Chain A
Amino acid sequence: MAKARTDLMQGTLELLILKTLARESLHGYGIVQRIHETAEDLLKVEDGSLYPALYRMQERGWIKSEWGVSENNRRARFYKLTRAGQKQLERERANWERVSKAISRILQTT
Chain B
Amino acid sequence: MNDLLTRLRHRFQPGTIELEVDEELRHHFDLLLREYMQKGMSHEEAFAATLKRFGNFNRFKNECVTICRRTRPLQRAFKIFLILLALTGLIVRALNTDFHVARIGDMLIMVAVACRLLLYVRSLSPSRFLPKNKTSSFSIFS
Contacts and interface: CB of A to CB of B under 8 A. Distances in A.
Interface of A: 27-29, 32, 46-49, 51-52, 55-56, 58-59, 64, 66, 70, 72, 74-77
B71 interface: yes
A51 B2 contact: no
Interface in B51-102: 53-57, 59-61, 63-64, 67-68, 70-71
B37 interface: no
Contacts of A58: 71
A48 B24 CA distance: 11
Contacts of A47: 28, 32, 53-55
A66 B2 contact: yes
Contacts of B55: 46-49
Given A27-B27, A55-B68, 5 more contacts: A28-B28, A46-B55, A52-B60, A55-B67, A72-B34
Kindly list the 5 A-B residue pairs having the minimum CB-CB distance in the complex, ordered from nearest: A48-B60, A48-B55, A46-B55, A52-B63, A55-B67
Interface of B: 2-3, 20-21, 23-25, 27-28, 30-32, 34, 53-57, 59-61, 63-64, 67-68, 70-71
The interface residues of chain A, by DSSP majority, are classed as helix
Given A52-B64, A55-B64, A55-B67, A74 B2 contact: no
